[in-house]
């Protein structure tokens, strides 16, 4: 059975729309410390957040993923799909907020776990692809 993927947005889009990465995503995402840490530690084979459309495999997880949740799209990704457990990024964010230095070995290990798709004890998966086609639209 193949996964179904979901993407949430603040605006409705017609079925058939091809979602592409947000042009100002990197400026917004790397302005916070966890975004910068993850990008700095991203392996070359991993898709950069700035080049990705973000999806979840459960519509309810879109809110946990930090998406704008006015409209819910079922999508079909194009090309390779990469999976990451957002729990690692959440833990990095908490540690940095508590004063841990970004280069601490424990934070580096958490970033490695994020990029390697290792599951935490309570994973919340996000899926990244270069683009995705909207196949259905409904209010969130």
What's the structural domain count of the chain?
Answer: 1
Q: Residue 108 is inside which H or E element, if any?
A: helix 105-115
pLDDT at 12 over 70: yes
Nearest to 100 by CA among 65, 108, 85: 108
Instruction: Average the pLDDT over 70-82 and give the result.
Output: 94
Q: What is the residue range of 18's domain?
A: 5-139
The percent of residues above 90 in pLDDT, for the chain, comes to 74
Cβ atoms within 10 Å, residue 26 = 17
Where residue 79 sits, what CATH number does that domain have? Answer: 3.20.170
Cβ atoms within 10 Å, residue 36 = 15
This prediction's pTM: 0.89
More confident residue, 63 or 37: 37
């Amino acid at each position: 059975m193949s996964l179904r993927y979901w993407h949430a947005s603040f605006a409705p889009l017609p079925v058939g729309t091809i979602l592409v990465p947000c042009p100002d995503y990197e400026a917004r995402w790397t302005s916070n410390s966890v975004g910068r840490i993850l990008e700095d530690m991203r392996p070359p084979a991993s898709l950069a957040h700035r080049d990705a459309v973000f999806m979840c495999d459960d519509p309810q997880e879109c809110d946990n993923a930090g998406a704008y949740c006015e409209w819910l799209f079922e999508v079909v990704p194009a090309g390779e799909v990469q999976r990451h457990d957002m729990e690692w990024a959440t833990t990095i964010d908490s540690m940095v907020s508590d004063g841990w230095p970004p280069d601490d070995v424990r934070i580096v290990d958490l970033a490695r776990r994020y990029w390697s798709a290792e599951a935490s004890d309570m994973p919340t998966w996000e899926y990244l692809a270069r683009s995705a086609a909207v196949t259905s639209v409904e209010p969130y």
